Structure 1
Amino acid sequence: MQSTFPGFSANSMCIAPAAAIAGFLSCIEQCLVTRNLKLSVCLHAGLIKSAFNRHTLLGNRLVELYSKFRSLRCAESAFHDLPFKNHQSYNIMLAAYCRAGRIDLAHQLFDRLPDQHLVSYNTMILSLARQGFHRQALDLFRRMLKHFVVMDEFTVVSVCAACTGLCFLKSLRQLHASVIVSGLEFNLIMSNVMIDSYGKCGDVDSSQHVFDQMERRDVVTWTSLVAAYTSARRLQEARAVFFSMPERNTVSWTSLISGYEQNKEEEAALELFEQMMAKGFVPNPFTVVSVLSACASLGFTERGRQVHGFIFRRCIGLDTFNVFVSNALIDMYAKCGNMVSAASLFHWMPKHDIVSWNSIITGYAQNGHGKQSLDVFEKMVTEGVRPNHVTFLGVLSACSHAGFVSEGCRILCLMEKEYGVCPRDEHFAAFIDALGRKCQIKEAMDFIECLSCEFVPASVATWGALLGACRVHGNLEIAKRAAESLFMLDPKNGARYTLLSNVYAAAGLWDDARRIKVLMKEKGLKKDPGYSWLELRNGKHMFVARDTSHYETEDIYRLLATLVDHIKDERVIVVE
């Protein structure tokens, strides 16, 4: 072992036990730092050879080491070699089972514990919550209370995580009441977690109540309350809390920025980001991802490019650990229509996750590059990456935009058969859209009826795709049937009435078109006007049909008329 672990040789096994134990512990730490499983197995062999594998402290550390590598078989071997197991031995093995997703084995071991005390319960509950087994965590907590085991702050934090994961507000309130009844003092950590949990479960008023009861607060307390208000879409109150903070940091700024971005207030999010930068705070990867998402939603290519430059200069999130920053950049460029930059970033990344693949596939699809989207999908499958429902939605959209109906049909059939992904409404709608774009309206109608025969009821998405196709290609009979179904499924959506009215108008049935408009007015329905915008010199210019509010309206309409004339001329040339 001389070459592998400097300063520790095979002769160490002949020295005093205390020194040998210290040496082995040092070697285990080295294995943890280097994350080298092969090295760990060699060390384990050395421990067995010297009989130190039976030492409780070393055995515990070895089990923990294998647990970090998710090598369950090796962890079990090291655990079973221990003749004298203590509570820590069992707790480490419990955590190893939970980390590997073997909840059945974890429960079996827990039930065999000679003494199920608080630390064992905490270990099990925390491990279950961290691995996403929230219901099992809550069940175990209830079992703990039935056995009169008194909770502590670690229990509360873990159970809060389980309640949040399930969005079980009632269970969270019961936990809160149990803590008060038990006489357990709410310390800073517990209060912060409770504020955060109430916010994520949609009860911001309880978050505020916990906040008001606190005698001591830190920046985490204030940030948690800001996040609670943004989650409840109460942005003005979130802003008021934020600017009342005695001290702010990057995390608190990020919480407010991401809250505005997630609530579709992208321009306000960008303004807050500029304020943050002006005050000298350095953004973290989570900040720039929110900002890039805002740029993507607004189509602000130049602003997004500036953020990209800042990320590159500051090296924010450019390591493989923060691959999601690169994913956000790809998504931003794709949504802004710059697939050259998106593809360049994708190929530059040293490692791709499923989000990376989905972003580039969907980007190509949305920008009309159907063949490239399908090529990337084939490459993804070849590299052994398993597609999910988002992947297939992007691929089916690519087939729709490119007119690849046969390929779309093939992929829809393969989703569940080969990849175990059950098609959803949006997948069926994408395929119906593909049929509609190829003027196969009757085939689209037959497909919906076929779904109904297989006990898959047609949805708003599928009927909406069919009605949209009817508007383009003018199939009045099927349009009426699709609209009637939509009026039943989505009666308060004015856009459906407008779409049917346009179908009637295109067919020259003006009385029917007016009748739908009157019906829409009687029901008090409105369709939000469609608009487009462009970014020029970091400014946003919005355009709505028949709008005259822009300060350069006359020049805009004059240029628009010139463009229309050019298009007409081009059509004449093409026909000739």
Structure 2
Amino acid sequence: MPQRNVVTWNTMIRGYFLNGFFSIALALFHQMPERDIFTYNIVISGLMHARDVEGARTVFEGMVCRDVVTWNAMIGGYFINGMVDEGLKVFEKMPGKDVISWNLVIEGLVRCQKFDLAEEYFNRMSYRNVASWTVLISGLAKAGRMAEACKFFEEMPVKDVRAWNVMLEGYIRIKCDDKAEILFQEMPEKDLDSWKLLINGLVISSRLVDALWNFMEMPTKCCKTLNLILLGLIRNGLVNEVHAFLEKQPYSNVFSWTNVIVGYFGKGEVRSAIKVFELMAIRDVTVWNAMIWGLGEYDQGEEGFKFFIRMKESGFSPDESTFTSILSICSNLLSLHLGKQSHAQVVKSGLNDFTAVSNALITMYERCGNMQSALLEFFSSPSQDVISWNSVICGFAHHGNAEKALEMFERMRLTDVKPNQITFIGVLSACSYAGLVDQGKYYFDYMKNKCSLKPTTEHYTCIVDLLGRFGLIDEAMSFLNQMRVDGVEVPASVWGALLGACRIHNNIEVGVIAAERFLEIEPLNAGVHLILAEMYLSCGKRADAEIVRARMEEMGVRKQQGRSWVEANGSS
């Protein structure tokens, strides 16, 4: 720039401060050949917002001439940085105060929850503007002190729409939507925020029909507000009704239709979701992701992969959510070939540093049986969370490598990542596979007493399976009895684990008890009926075995045919 004056320097300094380039702004300030009072005020305000209180104080003290804006910048800066006492000291020393000075003090005190002191300063004011009242009322309303807020609101000589909105938001915040509605009707003037506040409040109170009625009355429609209402209706199972509404109204956008698609998937109506998608004139990455995710969730992974290919052919770039869903599909299909192809695309897209994508890769390799690649991805990941650790621990346990699973758990204990219930499913499964009875008991107690995690059905199943595999049937039975004493209902899976152990160790007496308890919970389970009949036959109780088979006939219980999924040359 050939010619610069104070105004251009000030503009550049202010711009750098607003965009977070504080050091550059300060460097320009020191380079300025001449400065005016606006320069100093801009720098003080910028440094305060940059949390450089000492730097702002140095600039302030170095000023020969100060105006009310300078003092206000210091007061506001101290309050922004939580230095209430310093802010009040500067305010009291200030030679000439304007209404903004008073408002800054009241706002700062309200923000620090010092309401009594804020009211004291408010009462000291000789002149108040609308902002003075609104700042105090807003602070009281946000703190839920609506009685006091209402008192000041009633005393307010002139009320603007913002003051009314502050009261409206306060009632909604404490879920008094009936009072909010009365206040809304009393408002002499309403703006877009007034309508949005009321409608959002009705949605929060699950008054979705009332919210929709108010939306239709709204002078200026807001798609974001409509989508909030529609999302509430969809979550209440009214997907078809929302779909019909959108067909008749012109207020929808891509997000609206994406919610409908997700809603149909939530109801298991996959065909309807696909139909809505195909009729959409405009699509974005999010709606493609919704389709891929939904198809994967409802065991239509191959169709989901076809949508992924269509997505790329349509010119959309997959994001981390896309690849997370695609890798989940590969995991469910147990397709290592597709998984490796997807991994290559992840690397090409530069998304492999996202923890969610890295976790999906670890899970995919683990589910497809390639633990070496899973472990390589785990250690290559820039950061590991509990999901990352769970994937490798459960993966090694699932593939029978108990030693490696427990080694990874011990490594996890050396980090800041806290184990959760899924972690211990992997740990206890590993102990069960390896017959590590003492370690299994130790980890179960460690989970309950040291990690304060409540055992789930899966944890109890693992312990019973562990004791049973080692032939400790009586101890397993005692464990189940203790569960019932503790008020924990023994689920079918735990009785099933005990039944399996009894079958291996030929403990007919306990096995019959386990099978009968299992069938009380799941009477149509063909496998357990057949195991029970087999146990009766093995000990010569043919009549009892015939009773079991007759019961199967009577109940219409049939053994299901087995099916296998085979991948050959990259195709299923």
Contact 1:330 1:359 in 2 (8 A): yes
How far is 1:421 from its partner?
1.0
Q: Which residue of 2 aligns with 1:385?
A: 417
Q: Which residue of 1 aligns with 2:369?
A: 337
Instruction: Give yes or no for the alignment of 1:8 onto 2:26.
Output: yes
Instruction: Give yes or no for the alignment of 1:465 onto 2:500.
Output: no
How far is 1:310 from its partner?
0.9
Residue by residue over 1:349-390, the C-alpha shift from the partner in whole angstroms, topping out at 9 and shown as x without a partner, is 111111111111111111111121112112212112211111
Q: Which moved more, 1:531-540 or 1:403-412?
A: 531-540
What letter is aligned with 1:276? Answer: M
Counterpart CA distance in 2 for 1:355 and 1:75 is 41
Contact 2:390 2:423 in 1 (8 A): yes
Identity of aligned residues (%): 25
Match of 1:293 among 328, 334, 342: 328
Match of 1:155 among 197, 207, 214: 197
Q: Which residue of 1 aligns with 2:55?
A: 46
Q: Which residue of 2 aligns with 1:318?
A: 352
Indicate how the Cα distance of structure 1 residues 7 and 249 shifts in structure 2: closer, same or farther if over 3 A, else same: closer
Indicate how the Cα distance of structure 1 residues 155 and 514 shifts in structure 2: closer, same or farther if over 3 A, else same: farther
Q: Which residue of 2 aligns with 1:483?
A: 515
Indicate how the Cα distance of structure 1 residues 465 and 276 shifts in structure 2: closer, same or farther if over 3 A, else same: same
User: What SS does structure 2 have at the residue aligned with 1:148?
Assistant: helix
Counterpart CA distance in 2 for 1:12 and 1:140 is 55
Counterpart CA distance in 2 for 1:304 and 1:339 is 13
Q: Which residue of 2 aligns with 1:531?
A: 563
Instruction: Give yes or no for the alignment of 1:236 onto 2:271.
Output: yes
Q: Which residue of 2 aligns with 1:19?
A: 39
What letter is aligned with 2:53? Answer: H
How far is 1:427 from its partner?
1.1
Q: Which moved more, 1:250-259 or 1:501-510?
A: 501-510
How far is 1:412 from its partner?
1.1
Counterpart CA distance in 2 for 1:240 and 1:258 is 16
Indicate how the Cα distance of structure 1 residues 178 and 352 shifts in structure 2: closer, same or farther if over 3 A, else same: same
User: What SS does structure 1 have at the residue aligned with 2:567?
Assistant: strand
Counterpart CA distance in 2 for 1:459 and 1:141 is 43
Instruction: Give yes or no for the alignment of 1:190 onto 2:209.
Output: no
Q: Which residue of 1 aligns with 2:295?
A: 260
Indicate how the Cα distance of structure 1 residues 182 and 271 shifts in structure 2: closer, same or farther if over 3 A, else same: closer
Counterpart CA distance in 1 for 2:548 and 2:287 is 50
Match of 1:497 among 529, 532, 541: 529
What letter is aligned with 2:236? Answer: C
User: What SS does structure 1 have at the residue aligned with 2:564?
Assistant: strand
* Aligned residues: CA RMSD: 4.0
Counterpart CA distance in 2 for 1:76 and 1:205 is 55
Counterpart CA distance in 2 for 1:75 and 1:514 is 84
Instruction: Give yes or no for the alignment of 1:84 onto 2:116.
Output: no
Indicate how the Cα distance of structure 1 residues 355 and 80 shifts in structure 2: closer, same or farther if over 3 A, else same: farther
What letter is aligned with 1:193? Answer: L
How far is 1:159 from its partner?
5.0
Counterpart CA distance in 1 for 2:329 and 2:563 is 18
Q: How does 1:418-429 map to 2 (within 5 A)?
A: 418-429=450-461
Q: Which moved more, 1:429-438 or 1:494-503?
A: 494-503
Residue by residue over 1:67-95, the C-alpha shift from the partner in whole angstroms, topping out at 9 and shown as x without a partner, is xxxxxxx598899899634898699779x
User: What SS does structure 2 have at the residue aligned with 1:196?
Assistant: helix
Give the gaps of 5 or more residues in structure 1: 32-39, 67-73, 95-103, 126-136, 164-170, 541-576
Counterpart CA distance in 2 for 1:79 and 1:500 is 80
Residue by residue over 1:2-28, the C-alpha shift from the partner in whole angstroms, topping out at 9 and shown as x without a partner, is 997233169799965543343355557
Residue by residue over 1:388-421, the C-alpha shift from the partner in whole angstroms, topping out at 9 and shown as x without a partner, is 1111122111111121111111111122321121
Instruction: Give yes or no for the alignment of 1:282 onto 2:324.
Output: no
Q: TM-score, normalised by structure 2?
A: 0.74
Q: How does 1:1-150 map to 2 (within 5 A)?
A: 5-8=23-26, 16-24=36-44, 26=46, 40=51, 43-47=52-56, 50=60, 55=72, 59=76, 63=80, 74=82, 84-85=103-104, 107=143, 117=163, 120=166, 139-140=174-175, 142=177, 145=180, 148-149=183-184
What letter is aligned with 1:84? Answer: N
Q: Which residue of 2 aligns with 1:455?
A: 487
Instruction: Give yes or no for the alignment of 1:273 onto 2:291.
Output: no
User: What SS does structure 2 have at the residue aligned with 1:531?
Assistant: coil
User: What SS does structure 2 have at the residue aligned with 1:497?
Assistant: helix
Contact 1:300 1:535 in 2 (8 A): yes
Contact 2:75 2:87 in 1 (8 A): no
Contact 2:327 2:360 in 1 (8 A): yes
Instruction: Give yes or no for the alignment of 1:176 onto 2:208.
Output: no
Contact 1:195 1:208 in 2 (8 A): no
What letter is aligned with 2:440? Answer: G
What letter is aligned with 1:155? Answer: L
User: What SS does structure 2 have at the residue aligned with 1:443?
Assistant: helix
Residue by residue over 1:182-222, the C-alpha shift from the partner in whole angstroms, topping out at 9 and shown as x without a partner, is 75765322222333332233321232243234214322222
Larger Cα Rg: Structure 1 or Structure 2?
Answer: 2
What letter is aligned with 2:341? Answer: Q
Q: Which residue of 2 aligns with 1:306?
A: 341
Match of 1:210 among 245, 249, 252: 245
* Matched length: 489
What letter is aligned with 1:318? Answer: N
Q: TM-score, normalised by structure 1?
A: 0.73
What letter is aligned with 2:507? Answer: N
Counterpart CA distance in 2 for 1:265 and 1:75 is 59
Contact 2:199 2:214 in 1 (8 A): no
Give the gaps of 5 or more residues in structure 2: 1-16, 62-68, 90-100, 114-139, 154-161, 186-192
What letter is aligned with 1:20? Answer: Y
